[in-house]
Structure 1
Amino acid sequence: MRVLVTGAAGYLGHAVIAALAERGHEPVAFVRDATKAPRQATATAVGDVEDPPSLRAALRDVDGVCHLAARARVRESLTDPLPYWRTNVNGTLNLLDALTAGENRASLVLASTAAVYGTTATQPIREDAPIAPTNPYGATKAAADLAAANVAATGQLGAISLRAFNIAGAVDGHPDRDFTRLIPKVLAVQAGLAGELGVNGDGEAVRDFVHVADMAHAFVLAVEACSPGEWRAYNVGSGHESSINDVLATAERVTGQPVRIKRNPPANEPRVLLADSRRIRQELGWQAPNSDLSQILSDAWNALTSSYATRE
């Protein structure tokens, strides 16, 4: 398949391009800057999801789309929500419009998020849990999912939404440089790129971390499985329960040094957030062989230190 990957220059985009190429597909990187396209891409298309003409041009002769382009910072979405609605919702609508404008019926896989569920008390979270986002980021991703489901119901395309929980690790030496996320921030502290890590409360909040390589493989399986006229949502998580303190202890083992932390008051956040990923395992045969916490942090640490050593 010839597969367009929007947001290909990003952290997850690099991993998805690599996974598609390894599977024998032809990944096309859709990026705003051609110099940032992943090296494994078969071709590069320059454009923006907020620019419909560039989308239509990029979709020529494409069999599938992995739609990753989005704004994805929860706290930022609370203080500046409009750009999230423009990119995450309008960008997806532009893509759906371009996909349905011609006769080509390309498969569509959307990068969705556990944030669409909000703070549900039932754990682990299943796909039939209520959609109740508590922030603009989650709300915009829920809206994008619903738009894709509505269009798929017309028979004009097949779509799958992959609801990720906490993606971490690294593929092909490409680290996650978003230090607002827990694991990148911990490792930034260890590498001397940040002063300390703020830990809310007792550090016993539990999360579900999935290796970016395993997440990327989910995109490959999904784009192969889309069926015209159908939309499906899949939760993607490792099934491993890891507390914040577990992450700190693992980071200390991997890096060989203690983590400098600052204890903050408890935050208004879920005590437990876990994925029930049985549906994607049973229906698509997905597994998470790389999602042991030690491997996630080791791969992320090696990519981060190698990346910054190369820059010096």
Structure 2
Amino acid sequence: MRVLVTGANGYLGGVVAEALRAGGHDVVGLVRHARARVPHGVPVRVADLLDIGALRAALDGVDAVCHLAGCTRVRESFGDPLRFFEVNVGGTVSLLRAMAEAEVGRLVFASTASIYGTPERQPMSEKLPDRPPHPYAASKQAAEAVIAAQAATGRLAAVVLRLFNIAGGADPDPTRIVPRILAVAAGDSPCLAINGDGSAVRDYVHIRDAAAAFVAALTHLPGPGNCARYNIGSGIGTSVNELVAEAARMTGRAIAVEHLPAVPEPPCLVSDSGSARRVLGWEARSSDIATILRSGWAARPTP
């Protein structure tokens, strides 16, 4: 299939584009700016998510879409919630309108497991109710609802992937925990600031495994009129303290930690990705913490 990947210049989008190509697909990257960097050899089409005309032109000759573009930073969503809803929901509406006009009826959407909020039941399955704790999660939940409604018309076959904490490789976001830990190990940062005692447990999934889920989802799309949803996580719970200890062991370098006052946060969030394994044939093959940290360390620029 010829697959349009929106956000192909992003951390995950670029790896998804490469995984699709390795899987035999013809990939086109959609970006907002002509100078945006995408994987070598991936042709680029330029369009803003809010420009239906440009999106329609970008969909020429396309068979399916992997939609990853959008606003993603949780803290920023509190300060500018309207922007998150404008892009994540409005942009998805524009894309779906353009897809309908172009008669493109296959979609895989990158969503977030943060929509579940802080459920007591662990691990977290797709049967849990939605309780989005911030505007970012709420905007993704609304985008999911739009996709499901469009699928119900019969014009679309869609898969929604609720992704847990993507990590590993060349992560450009210095605010995420793995880049922060590795920055201390590399001597680029004096210490790692942690809220509380470092016991909070999260589910980390290697970026290569996350990208593989998009390939699997395209292969196992439901029939037109249906929208399926799957959790994509490792199923392994790892605390901040365990991350720090493994990074110190792996790099052979001391990692200084500063404990700040605790803030309200879930003690444990872990995925039940059994549905993705059973239906999509997807497995988290590289998502042990040692592999994630090694790949992040290897991807750091050499001085």
TM-score of the pair, normalised by structure 2: 0.96
Contact 1:27 1:41 in 2 (8 A): no
In the alignment, does 2:101 pair up with 1:101?
yes
In the alignment, does 2:186 pair up with 1:186?
no
| Runs of 5+ consecutive residues of structure 2 not aligned to the other structure | none
Quick one: distance in 2 between partners of 1:41 and 1:27?
9
Quick one: distance in 2 between partners of 1:35 and 1:16?
19
Aligned to 1:145: 144
Quick one: distance in 2 between partners of 1:195 and 1:137?
30
What residue identity is the alignment partner of 1:93?
Answer: V
Using a 3 Å threshold, how does the CA distance of structure 1 residues 70 and 193 change in structure 2: closer, same or farther? farther
| SS of aligned partner of 2:17 | helix
In the alignment, does 2:300 pair up with 1:304?
yes
Contact 2:62 2:104 in 1 (8 A): no
**After superposition, what is the alpha-carbon deviation per residue over 1:204-226, rounded to whole angstroms, capped at 9, x for unaligned?**
11111100000000001112222
Contact 1:2 1:63 in 2 (8 A): yes
Aligned to 1:78: 78
Quick one: distance in 1 between partners of 2:269 and 2:116?
10
Contact 1:28 1:41 in 2 (8 A): no
Contact 1:21 1:40 in 2 (8 A): no
Quick one: distance in 2 between partners of 1:57 and 1:32?
14
**After superposition, what is the alpha-carbon deviation per residue over 1:103-125, rounded to whole angstroms, capped at 9, x for unaligned?**
x2331011000111111111111
**After superposition, what is the alpha-carbon deviation per residue over 1:51-75, rounded to whole angstroms, capped at 9, x for unaligned?**
2222111111111111000111111
- By how many angstroms is 1:188 displaced? 2.2
1:176 is aligned, of 171, 176, 180, to 171
Which residues in structure 2 correspond to 1:123-272 (within 5 Å)?
Answer: 123-170=122-169, 175-226=170-221, 227-272=223-268
Contact 1:203 1:243 in 2 (8 A): yes
Which is further off, 222-231 or 110-119?
Answer: 222-231
- By how many angstroms is 1:293 displaced? 0.5
- By how many angstroms is 1:143 displaced? 0.4
Aligned to 1:10: 10
Quick one: distance in 2 between partners of 1:85 and 1:243?
32
Using a 3 Å threshold, how does the CA distance of structure 1 residues 36 and 192 change in structure 2: closer, same or farther? farther
Using a 3 Å threshold, how does the CA distance of structure 1 residues 133 and 55 change in structure 2: closer, same or farther? same
Quick one: distance in 2 between partners of 1:37 and 1:157?
30
Contact 1:123 1:274 in 2 (8 A): yes
**After superposition, what is the alpha-carbon deviation per residue over 1:102-151, rounded to whole angstroms, capped at 9, x for unaligned?**
3x233101100011111111111110111110100000000001100010
Aligned to 2:60: 60
Which residues in structure 2 correspond to 1:264-303 (within 5 Å)?
Answer: 264-303=260-299
- By how many angstroms is 1:255 displaced? 2.0
- By how many angstroms is 1:41 displaced? 4.6
Quick one: distance in 2 between partners of 1:194 and 1:156?
51
In the alignment, does 2:49 pair up with 1:19?
no
Using a 3 Å threshold, how does the CA distance of structure 1 residues 41 and 121 change in structure 2: closer, same or farther? farther
Quick one: distance in 1 between partners of 2:100 and 2:124?
32
TM-score of the pair, normalised by structure 1: 0.93
Quick one: distance in 1 between partners of 2:232 and 2:62?
25
Quick one: distance in 2 between partners of 1:105 and 1:73?
29
Say what the alpha-carbon RMSD is for the aligned residues.
1.3
| Runs of 5+ consecutive residues of structure 1 not aligned to the other structure | none
- By how many angstroms is 1:254 displaced? 2.2
